[in-house]
Amino acid sequence: MALRELASLEKYLGLKKPNKYSTQGDKKVPVLQNNNAPSLVGLVTIACHLVKEANRPELLGDGAEGRAVVQQWLEYRVTKLDSHIEDTKSILKDLNLYMQDKVYLAGNQLTLADILMYYGIHSIILDLAVQEKEQYVNVARWFDHIQHHPGVRHHLPPVVVLRNRLYTSRHH
């Protein structure tokens, strides 16, 4: 799974020559094989490396604070979203609240945080019923926005997000 994400990211970044990857351990941690440097291990590490290689520093955030917020959500992706320590619902609830007044996860433009969170949360959003998508309306809105960002979606099927609400009488 992680390898497909990295392949999509490479395409999004427009990297010409594809890198060689393998995986490590039963968690299938991705490994980037480097000819003239030690190999790199870990989804976020490799993703950040690819962004730098493509010379797209803006995807890692502006300034120390901006970069930190991007890293915050990258860490969230691999520790919370991927670990199943917290259940899906609390994650969606938290994200929904966070995204109440946000267009992107970090700052005012698309960053690597949006891309990797989108890849990671895709299977969850895909499984949501219409009603649940409404319950997590801010997440759904952000998700829809990112999946329509040119070049981001690649290997993943689009998820339908309704723009009009179905279930109004629901108490939150």
Partner 1 sequence: MELFVSEGNPHCLKVLAALEVTGVQCGVQFVNHEGKVVPFLRRPALPTLFLPSGQQLFSSNTICRYLFELNGPESSDQCNQWLEWEATILQPALLRALHLAVLQGKGSEVPTVLQGPLNVLDQSLAKGSMAYLTGETVSVADVVLWGALHPVLSVSSLVLSDHKSVKAWFDRVAAERGCQSAAQKVLQGKGLEAMKSYMQKQPAPQSRDTQPCNSSPAETDEGERTVSEEEMEAAALTWSKDLNACSIPAEKQHPVMPQEGNRNVLITSALPYVNNVPHLGNIIGCVLSADVFSRYGLLRGWNVLFVCGTDEYGTATENKAREEGLTPQQICDKYHAVHSSIYKWFQIDFDFFGRTTTEKQTEIAQDIFWRLHKNGFLVEDTVEQLRCENCQRFLADRFVEGTCPHCSYPEARGDQCDKCGRLINAVELREPQCKVCRQTPEIRSSKHLFLDLPKLEPQLENWLERSTSSGDWTANAKQITRSWLRDGLKPRCITRDLLWGTPVPHPDFKEKVFYVWFDAPIGYLSITANYTNEWEKWWKNPHQVELYNFMAKDNVPFHSVVFPCSLLGAQDNYTLVSHLIATEYLNYEDTKFSKSRGVGVFGDMAKDTGIPSDVWRFYLLYVRPEGQDSAFSWADMALKNNSELLNNLGNFINRGGMFVTKFFGGCVPAMELQQEDKQLLAVVGWELQQYIQLMDKVKIRDALKHILNISRHGNQYIQVNEPWKKIKGGESERQRAGTVTGVSVNIACLLSVMLLPYMPAVSQTIRDQLNAPQTCINTMLQGPGTFVCALRAGHRIGTVSPLFQKLEADQIEALKKRFGGQQITASSQPAAVPAPPVVAEVKVVDASDPEKVKQLAEAVAEQGDKVRALKSQKAEKAIITAEVSKLLDLKKQLALAEGKSPEPAPQKGKKK
Q: Does 169 bind partner 1 (CB under 8 A)?
A: yes
Q: Does 75 bind partner 1 (CB under 8 A)?
A: yes
The CA-based dihedral angle spanning residues 151, 100, 94, 77, taken in that order and rounded to the nearest 10 degrees: 20
What whole-number distance in Å separates Cα of residue 29 and Cα of residue 42?
Answer: 6
Cα Rg of the chain, angstroms: 17
Q: Does 44 bind partner 1 (CB under 8 A)?
A: yes
Query: Token digits for 64?
Result: 């120390």
User: Exposed e or buried b for every residue in 49-77, given b needs 16+ CB within 10 A?
Assistant: bbbeebeeeebbbbeeebbebbbebbebb
> Which residue, 100 or 150, is less far from partner 1 as judged by CB?
100
> Which residue, 81 or 110, is less far from partner 1 as judged by CB?
81
Helix (H), strand (E) counts: the chain: 7, 3
> Which residue, 105 or 110, is less far from partner 1 as judged by CB?
105
| Contact range with partner 1 by CB under 8 A, out of 10-18, 110-118, 123-131, 149-157 | 123-131
Contacts to partner 1 from residues 100-119, by CB under 8 A = 100
Report which residue type is found at 134.
Answer: E
Residues that contact partner 1, how many (by CB under 8 A): 54
Residues that bind partner 1 (CB under 8 A): 25, 27, 29, 38, 40-45, 48-49, 64-65, 67-69, 71-72, 75-76, 78-79, 82-90, 93-94, 97-98, 100, 127-132, 135, 160, 162, 164-166, 168-172
